[in-house]
Amino acid sequence: MDTTHSTSNHFIKNIVSDDLANGRVEQIITRFPPEPNGYLHIGHAKSICLNFELADEFGGRTHLRMDDTNPSKEDVEYVESIKEDVRWLGFEWDGYFYASDFFEQMYACAELLIRKNLAYVCDLNAEQIRETRGTLTEPGQESPYRNRSIEENADLFRRMRAGEFADGEKVLRAKIDMGSPNINLRDPVIYRIAHVEHHNTGNQWCIYPMYGYAHPLEDAFEGVTHSICTLEFEDQRPLYDWVIEHCETPAKPKQYEFARLNMTNTVMSKRKLKKLVDEAVVDGWDDPRMPTISGLRRRGFTAEAIRNFVREIGVAKSNSTVDARMLEHFIREDLKLKAPRTMAVVRPLKVVITNYPEGQVEWLTAENNSENPELGERQIPFSREIYIEQDDFMENPPNKYFRLFPGNEVRLKHAYFIVCQEVIKNDTGEVVELRCKYDPLTKSGSGFNERKVKGTIHWVDAAQAVPAEFRMYEPLILDEQHEEGETFLDHINSNSLEILHGYVEPNMANVQVQDKFQFFRHGYFNVDSKHTTNERKVFNLVVSLKSSFDATK
Ligand code: ATP
Ligand code: MG
């Protein structure tokens, strides 16, 4: 697969090149500005890579900014998780800011707008403001408070800050144009009253700036040159430019929009993801089924795979939806040579090898990754009792079933041929044990070629295998047409998690959390960081071995 897209051109790179060439900027500064109201998700990874890699390529700088202007939804837990996730993705910021660092300067800019008669205090409530805003085809109506004097506005705004008014009683609005075809320019609210404690500024403020006003100022105060956001902010750009112009900031940042990442079977909004957490559909923001960076990490995705994925999807000007299986393609590619390949039995069925001497154990040598000799070899014990996969036996098999059935011979991976001779069942008729014979001449690596078998199955030694828990995942969200009145919560896949109990090879006794393996025939697995202890090994299925999706198309 071609992963050189990172160095290929996209429209934002062209803009940056031009800006540097014609001297609009000397050095570019980008920023990643999450609101700390949730954990970052794979969509954010796209924005992170874009901002950091762009600055890197052009010798610039990137800031991490917590866009914390909405204190009722924000929390330091989110702030910390965001920093951890950006670093884990492989990026280090050149400057770290909070929007709240600039509250005083933003307030001063608002006073400046009032003095220039470009902002006014409005007593309409939120509903009245909405009702008088007009529509796409009709202009809005001017507020009866629009023509307050500069002195009155200055006085009221000071008193808003001083806490004299209740939440919602007054707002500060930019005085732009109620007839503008762009609704964002119809006297947008730029400050609101909210008597809530802020995780950074405590109770210092009871008025908070609105996104459309705050964001351009944050960019300007930090010296950001290229403010890259997603397409839904395109309509906000005229307001962005208006704020920069009229607040007379020395720096003149510019906003550019690109298409956000959407993925099949995935909800990608912190608000919705929070709902999954709050309603206990998942066991936290880092549940391995979540598309959060922390969930993907716990599932077993690597930063490298995520970076390669977002590079491959590229930077576009129009929205589209990416097949979630494409991300899986990149983790397979990344782990193919890195992950040791070993045997795990997820639904065990005991096999007794009746002609194998009781008490005897032999150690078989197996390579850890047949495609990467650097990963070395290991020893696997083999003795009279082993576990195989329940699926690898059928009492009455259909045609072309090449695994174990009465009378049939198969190869045990890295070991011997065995033939099934007897099936033991319990009272309810379930198969609980198989009796087999092995042929000592067929040892793996011995060059035996007198008989061929069609099936190779995996196994673990019953006496020495390590018990393990396997967490098998399916997409959390089913991609279906939504009926009227339904939300994404009506499309939760009730089979998204299946917990199985089986065994891994004895050399897995000392695995560390986040270690990754390929379990022969099952897929890639990651040692779970939340539930694994010395006594309990929990493996998350990262991805199965094959997918029907061809990412090269
Ligand atoms: P959410 O709805 O998940 O809260 P948001 O856009 O409100 O998303 P922010 O924390 O404000 O989240 O976003 C920080 C940055 O990440 C913004 O520049 C935003 O444009 C970008 N971003 C968010 N979601 C995506 C996405 N799906 N694809 C690309 N970029 C995204
Ligand atoms: Mg948001």
pLDDT at residue number 300: 98
The Å distance, Cα 222 to ligand 1 centre, comes to 20
The Å distance, Cα 33 to ligand 1 centre, comes to 8
Residue 308 lies in a domain: no
Residue type, 514: Q
Same domain, 349 and 237: no
pLDDT at residue number 482: 77
The 8 Å CB, 24+ separation contacts for 301-304 are 301/327, 301/331, 301/542, 302/331, 302/334, 302/335, 302/516, 303/88, 303/89, 303/90, 304/90, 304/334
374: domain range? 341-464
The Å distance, Cα 506 to ligand 1 centre, comes to 44
Residue type, 168: G
- Do 109 and 219 contact (CB within 8 A), yes or no? no
- Do 475 and 496 contact (CB within 8 A), yes or no? yes
Residue with tokens 């695994």: 403
Q: Which of 10, 32, 44, 275 to mutate to test the pocket of ligand 1 (most atoms within 8 A of CB)?
A: 44
Catalytic residues: 35, 260, 270
Same domain, 77 and 199: yes
Pick the last residue of a domain from 243, 258, 273.
Answer: 258
Ligand nearest to the Cα of 292, by number:
1
C-alpha 47/C-alpha 56 separation (Å) is: 14
Ligand nearest to the Cα of 229, by number:
1
Pick the last residue of a domain from 225, 240, 258.
Answer: 258
316: how many CB neighbours lie within 10 A of its CB?
13
β-strand pairing of 497-504 with 466-473 = antiparallel
Q: Tell me the pLDDT tens digit for each residue of 269-297.
A: 999 999 999 999 999 999 999 999 999 99
Same domain, 19 and 156: yes
Pick the residue whose CA is nearest to atom 16 on ligand 1: 44
Exposed, middle or buried, 228 (CB in 10 Å: 0-12/13-18/19+)?
A: buried
Pick the residue whose CA is nearest to atom 8 on ligand 1: 269
Q: Tell me the pLDDT tens digit for each residue of 197-208.
A: 999 999 999 999
Q: Which two tokens stand for residue 464?
A: 């020495």
Q: Tell me the pLDDT tens digit for each residue of 483-493.
A: 888 889 999 99
Pick the residue whose CA is nearest to atom 29 on ligand 1: 260
Q: Which two tokens stand for residue 306?
A: 């995520």
pLDDT at residue number 8: 64
Same domain, 377 and 247: no
Q: Tell me the pLDDT tens digit for each residue of 311-323.
A: 999 898 888 899 9
Same domain, 78 and 225: yes
Ligand nearest to the Cα of 68, by number:
1
Tell me how many domains the chain contains: 2
Same domain, 243 and 349: no
pLDDT at residue number 5: 41
Nearest 5 degrees, angle CA 190-CA 195-CA 196? 100
C-alpha 217/C-alpha 246 separation (Å) is: 11
- Do 434 and 420 contact (CB within 8 A), yes or no? yes
Pick the last residue of a domain from 226, 258, 290.
Answer: 258
The Å distance, Cα 35 to ligand 2 centre, comes to 6
Pick the residue whose CA is nearest to atom 25 on ligand 1: 43
Residue 524 lies in a domain: no
Instruction: Tell me which residues have their CB closer than 6 angstroms to ligand 1.
Output: 33-35, 43-44, 46-47, 67, 229-230, 260-261, 268-270
- CA-wise closest residue to 322 among 46, 14, 13, 10: 46
Tally the C-alpha atoms within 13 A of residue 250's C-alpha that lie toward its C-beta: 4
The CATH number assigned to the domain holding 104 equals 3.40.50.620
Segments of the chain with pLDDT less than 70:
1-8, 548-553
- CA-wise closest residue to 173 among 162, 183, 186: 186
The Å distance, Cα 79 to ligand 1 centre, comes to 15
Same domain, 29 and 147: yes
3-state secondary structure 489-505: HHHECCCCEEEEEEEEC
